[in-house]
Structure formats: C-alpha cells, structure tokens
C-alpha cells in the first residue's frame, strides 16, 4: 500500500561502467522520520568487458549503456509490478524523444518498443546522474531520462553522483529492500574515494557542500588499479591488491617493506597518488616479483594509502569540529581502510563513522534515487529541454 505522503522515484545511473535503474518509494524529511523501500532494482556491470582493455573506455561504456538501459528499465518495472499494457502517447512527445536520442538509434528503437506496452507509470519524479563521470556515458542516461520526462510528463531531477554516495552512507538498511535514516549530527565530513575521485567534502547543513580537499593527480582507486597492473593483475585491480595485503598481514606480523605515504605532512587537506605509483614502478622495474614479494608490495602500498587518507580525515575532523564522517565511493568497500579509519576515529571519541553496505559502495541507481528524492521534495527540478551532462561536475556547485 502506498501512503499519501510517499513519493516514487525512477533513478538512472550511467556515470562509468555500471548501468543501473531502480524505482524507490520514500517518505519523510531529512531526519529520523525518513524511510524508503526499493520497489525495483536492476544493474549491469561492464567490468568484464573493460577488463579486456585494462581500464574503462568511454565510448565502449556509452555503447553498453545504450544497449542495456531499456532491458534494465523493463526488469525494474517488472519488479515493481508495473504491468505492461497498450497506451497511446502524444505524437509530439515521441518526436521530441527521437530528437534527443538521435545519436542513439538502438536506444530509441528499444524505447519505442517499451512505450508501446507501458503507459505512464505511477512515478513522481525521474532522477538521473548528471555528473561527474565519463561524459559520453553520462549523456546516454541523461538523454533517456529527458526523453522519458517529456513522454510521460514527469518531473526530472539531475543528481550529482558523489552526493548519491553520501546519501547511501547515511542510510540504515534494515533489510536489502528497505531502510531508514541513521542518526547523525552536523558538521558532516565525507571522504569520497573511488576510481575517479578522492575528495574531502564538508557539510554544515543538508545538501550544502564545500570541497576542502581533493587529489591533485590520480584518484586513489586509479592508483590501486595501476599498481595492480604493475604486479600483473587485470582491471579492476583494487580487490587483488587488498587480498594480497590481507594475506601478508596474516602471514607476517610486521611489514617487510614500506612506501612513503604521499603528502602525509603537507599543510593542506589535498592528496596525491602519482608519486607512490611511481615508487612502486621503480621498485619492480626490471624484476618479476614472486608471490611473497607481491604480497609485501600490496601491503606496503595499501598501508601508505590508508595512512594518508586517515591522517587527512582526522585533521579535517579536528579543524572543523566534525561530528559525523561518511565514506563513499568504490574504494569505501576496502575492508582495511574501513577498519583503520573506524579505529582511528574511535580513539578521538569525537566523530561517528558511517559507511555504506559493501555491495552498495560501488555505483548503483539506489543512491541516485535517494539523492533525487531529497531534491524532489524541495521541488528542485530540472528542465528536460536544458539538462546537460557534466563530466567535471563539482559537488560544491551542484
């Protein structure tokens, strides 16, 4: 049963190499009365495809998004019990949809077949990732969302991908399909760590952000992948590095190798990971490390990365009197970083740590739906005629 105050959000995520669609029902404001339910959720990972090339290729990601969005939309509709039936759409809205998807002929044709059997759904808003990310990939999701908004006459919300990660960390998932808002206090500090981002974002109130630290070169997830490649592991390399590091810690009480934590003592909250990548490359240059040495390298690398992430986070906690720390992005699934940060914060007895479920640390549409809901209740809607994808979108200027 749907409560009168509830709102249903269709969310679309195509920022990188995950194609995702979900439908959530949420109610309440930005406090303890908030709750949500996942009515339908569908995700397709392109990792296996990009692994063949050692990393994500934007145009390949774009093609895969275009191919898979409508099948995922159909799957989400079925999960939400939106039954198919014939429906007549206004001809002009279909013309506008065709114009929006002019460069995605296959996606348009799939959309038309989908619309032939699906009427306007019981949805209050469409949320879509508008950035940051790979711009060719972002445009596929944005243009489909714009087309659906026009055809169905449903309001559109453009969501910052990083804000989605923050929202997921704030949720208490009671079970896999529903959740509540966790108790927390401002100021809130978000450590956003992924293949494309390493940022410290400060928030003193809901949906107001200031970026107080960022990477000057490689993102931390990118560094994990590059070091893994140096050791002979395929993309994505983060899980391999973490597994090797854990094996070394289990086998040896003390590390046999150490790398320099980059920018550990700089007088700012910025990060840099290109130097440690270079240090690893020089160490293995001309050598073929055996399994024991790979374990030692992985541990030393992860130790150094964790040290600088935690040191900068603790410095920000003290400087800004932070009460809540959230961690989001794909690297937030790293067990060692979670544990070390949690232990370090516990010693300060100042800030509460909130992290997302490991299976929602990577990109998904649920996080976009959650962020979209909070924009929708503020009536912060986008014009489908003018919404644009922005690969370099800055959370502080969302």
Strand (E) or helix (H) holding 86: none
**Domain spans in the chain, listed from the N-terminal domain onward:** 7-166+361-397, 186-322
DSSP string, 183-227: P--SSEEEEEESSS-EEEEEEEETTEEEEEEEBSSS-HHHHHHHH
- Is the pTM higher than 0.85? The answer reads yes
Question: Which ranges in the chain belong to alpha helices (H)?
Answer: 47-51, 58-79, 91-100, 105-117, 135-152, 161-169, 220-230, 238-251, 274-284, 291-320, 335-348, 365-377
User: CA-to-CA distance for 166 and 94, rounded, in angstroms?
Assistant: 36
Q: If one looks up domain 7-166+361-397 in CATH, what number appears?
A: 3.30.420.40
CATH topology agreement for domains 7-166+361-397 and 186-322 = yes
**CA dihedral of residues 123, 124, 129, 130 (deg, nearest 10):** 130
Segment 109-119, tens digit of pLDDT = 999 999 989 88
**123 vs 2, higher pLDDT:** 123
Segment 14-68, tens digit of pLDDT = 999 999 999 999 999 877 789 999 999 999 998 888 777 777 888 888 999 999 9
Contact indicator for 384, 156 with CB cutoff of 8 Å: yes
| Structure-block tokens of residue 253 | 């009480």
- Residue 153 C-beta-side C-alpha neighbours within 13 Å: 5
Give the count of beta carbons closer than 10 Å to the beta carbon of residue 42: 21
Segment 332-391, tens digit of pLDDT = 999 999 999 999 999 988 899 999 998 898 899 999 999 999 999 999 999 999 999 999
Segment 184-223, tens digit of pLDDT = 999 999 999 998 889 999 999 988 999 999 999 989 999 9
Residue 396 has a pLDDT of 78
Q: Is the pLDDT of residue 302 over 50?
A: yes
Total number of residues shown for the chain: 398
Query: Sorting pLDDT into bands at 50, 70 and 90, what band is 85?
Result: confident
Segment 257-295, tens digit of pLDDT = 999 998 999 999 999 999 999 999 999 887 788 999 999
Q: Is the pLDDT of residue 181 over 80?
A: yes
Residue 160 has a pLDDT of 96
Domain 186-322, classified CATH 3.30.420.40, yes or no: yes
Give the count of beta carbons closer than 10 Å to the beta carbon of residue 117: 12
Residue 398 has a pLDDT of 52
Q: Give the mean pLDDT of the chain.
A: 92
Query: If we measure between CA atoms, which residue out of 3, 7, 39 comes closest to residue 22?
Result: 39
**CA dihedral of residues 74, 51, 199, 210 (deg, nearest 10):** -30
Strand partners, 202: 189, 210
Query: Sorting pLDDT into bands at 50, 70 and 90, what band is 397?
Result: low
User: CA-to-CA distance for 311 and 213, rounded, in angstroms?
Assistant: 12
Segment 229-266, tens digit of pLDDT = 999 998 888 899 999 999 999 998 899 999 999 899 99
Q: Tell whether omega for the bond before 187 is within 30 degrees of 0, i.e. cis.
A: yes
Helix (H, G, I), strand (E, B) or coil at 238: helix
The predicted model gives 132-145 an average pLDDT of 96
Segment 303-316, tens digit of pLDDT = 999 999 999 999 99
Residue 242 has a pLDDT of 95
DSSP state, residue 17:
S
Contact indicator for 121, 82 with CB cutoff of 8 Å: yes
Share of the chain above pLDDT 90, in %: 75
User: CA-to-CA distance for 175 and 183, rounded, in angstroms?
Assistant: 17
| Structure-block tokens of residue 113 | 């077949």
Q: Tell whether omega for the bond before 295 is within 30 degrees of 0, i.e. cis.
A: no
Segment 151-169, tens digit of pLDDT = 999 999 999 999 999 999 9
**131 vs 49, higher pLDDT:** 131
Residue 1 has a pLDDT of 46
User: CA-to-CA distance for 135 and 213, rounded, in angstroms?
Assistant: 23
Q: Is the pLDDT of residue 170 over 90?
A: yes
Contact indicator for 68, 20 with CB cutoff of 8 Å: no
């Amino acid at each position: 049963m749907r409560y009168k105050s509830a709102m249903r959000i269709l969310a679309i995520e195509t920022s990188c190499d995950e194609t995702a669609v979900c439908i959530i029902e949420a109610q309440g404001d930005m406090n303890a009365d908030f709750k949500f339910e996942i009515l339908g959720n569908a995700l397709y990972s392109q990792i296996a495809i990009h692994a063949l090339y050692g990393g994500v290729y934007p145009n390949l990601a774009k093609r895969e998004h275009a191919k898979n969005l409508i099948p995922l939309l159909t799957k989400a509709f079925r999960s939400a019990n939106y039954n198919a039936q014939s429906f007549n759409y206004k001809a002009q809205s279909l013309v506008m949809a065709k114009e929006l998807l002019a460069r995605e002929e296959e996606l348009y044709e799939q959309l038309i077949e989908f619309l032939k059997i699906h009427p306007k759904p019981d949805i209050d808003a469409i949320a879509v990732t508008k950035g940051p990310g790979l711009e060719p990939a972002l445009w596929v999701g944005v243009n489909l969302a714009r087309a659906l908004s026009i055809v169905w006459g449903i309001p559109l919300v453009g969501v910052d991908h990083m804000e989605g990660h923050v929202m997921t960390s704030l949720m208490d998932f009671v079970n896999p399909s529903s959740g509540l808002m966790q108790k927390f206090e401002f100021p809130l500090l978000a450590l956003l760590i992924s293949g494309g981002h390493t940022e410290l974002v400060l928030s003193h109130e809901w949906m107001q952000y200031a970026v107080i630290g960022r990477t000057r070169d490689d993102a931390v997830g990118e560094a994990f992948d590059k070091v893994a490649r140096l050791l002979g592991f395929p993309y994505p390399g983060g899980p391999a590095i973490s597994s090797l590091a854990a094996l070394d810690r289990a086998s040896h009480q003390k590390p046999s190798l150490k790398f320099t934590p980059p920018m550990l003592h700089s007088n700012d909250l910025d990060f840099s990971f290109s130097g440690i990548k270079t240090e690893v490359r020089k160490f293995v240059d001309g050598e073929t490390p055996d399994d024991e040495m790979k374990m030692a390298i992985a541990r030393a690398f992860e130790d150094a990365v964790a040290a600088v992430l935690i040191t900068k986070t603790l410095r920000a906690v003290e400087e800004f009197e932070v009460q809540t720390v959230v961690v989001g992005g794909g690297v937030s699934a790293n067990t060692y970083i979670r544990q070390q940060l949690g232990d370090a914060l516990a010693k300060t007895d100042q800030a509460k740590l909130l992290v997302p479920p490991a299976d929602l640390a990577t990109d998904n549409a649920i996080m976009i739906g959650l962020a979209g809901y909070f924009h929708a209740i503020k009536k912060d809607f986008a014009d489908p005629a003018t919404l644009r994808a922005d690969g370099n979108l800055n959370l502080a200027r969302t």
